[in-house]
């Protein structure tokens, strides 16, 4: 009697386990694979809080400066106070600085160079879950999934790398989730699993169930 009951329990457990695996597989299958090529050739860096910018005023070294962008997105320097820098390209900021300095000097020529990169929050690559060092990374042109994984130190021992997904904003403003194969890429050296990243991507690495 006990043996028969144990057999029934074993069969039931196997069916539950198979059902769970089926649910997990269906969940993974619901996300299309990330497109291999997604980089934008016309990408321009956007200044964010925490960036360090060097402002060079031609023939006016006393007005040149190297300053951090404050948490409120503004910068301050000689003859200029609270100039918005966040959300602008270096060229846009240079033109704005020329307008401000034009009040004090004749025909200023300004060049802005970003020397420390953080970027705006909307363009940072965020890695959460079972990465060795989950963090937010500044996006750079032609950045790939492999670049991101090197920066975060790879996967933990408990990661379900091939169950990872990338959350990406669409042109319509909604969110699309794509599956990526981190285990194949990192631990098996399958370069076909490498894909382009886009500004604002969120890489989600779940924990393995087994």
**Mean pLDDT to the nearest integer, 37-45:** 81
Domain 124-210 has CATH 3.10.560.10: yes
Q: According to the model, what pLDDT value does residue 41 have?
A: 74
- pTM assigned to the model: 0.79
> Do 57 and 64 touch, CB atoms closer than 8 A?
yes
Domain-wise residue ranges, the chain: 52-116, 124-210
Domain 52-116 has CATH 3.40.50.300: no
> Do 108 and 62 touch, CB atoms closer than 8 A?
no
State both tokens at 108. Answer: 């200023």
Q: Reply yes or no on whether the pLDDT at 68 is more than 60.
A: yes
Q: According to the model, what pLDDT value does residue 21 have?
A: 38
Q: According to the model, what pLDDT value does residue 39 have?
A: 66
Rounded to whole angstroms, the Cα distance separating 141 from 38 reads 11
């Amino acid at each position: 009697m006990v043996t028969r009951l144990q057999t029934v329990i074993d069969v039931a457990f196997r069916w539950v386990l198979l059902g769970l695996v089926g649910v997990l597989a269906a969940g993974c299958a619901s996300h299309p694979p990330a497109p291999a090529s997604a980089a934008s050739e016309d990408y321009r860096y956007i200044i964010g809080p925490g960036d360090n910018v060097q402002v060079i005023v031609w023939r006016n070294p006393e007005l040149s400066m190297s300053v951090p962008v404050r948490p409120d997105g503004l910068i301050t320097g000689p003859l200029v106070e609270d100039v918005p820098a966040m959300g602008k390209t270096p060229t846009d900021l240079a033109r704005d600085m020329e307008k401000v300095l034009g009040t004090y000097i004749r025909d200023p020529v300004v060049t802005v160079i970003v020397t420390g990169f953080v970027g705006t929050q909307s363009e940072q690559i965020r890695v959460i879950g079972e990465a060795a060092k989950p963090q937010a990374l500044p996006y750079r042109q032609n950045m790939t999934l492999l670049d991101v994984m090197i920066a975060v130190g790879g996967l933990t021992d408990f990661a379900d790398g091939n169950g990872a997904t990338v959350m990406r904003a669409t042109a319509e403003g909604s969110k699309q989730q794509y599956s990526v194969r981190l285990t194949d890429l990192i631990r098996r050296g399958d370069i076909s699993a490498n894909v382009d990243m886009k500004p604002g991507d969120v890489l989600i690495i779940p924990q393995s169930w087994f």
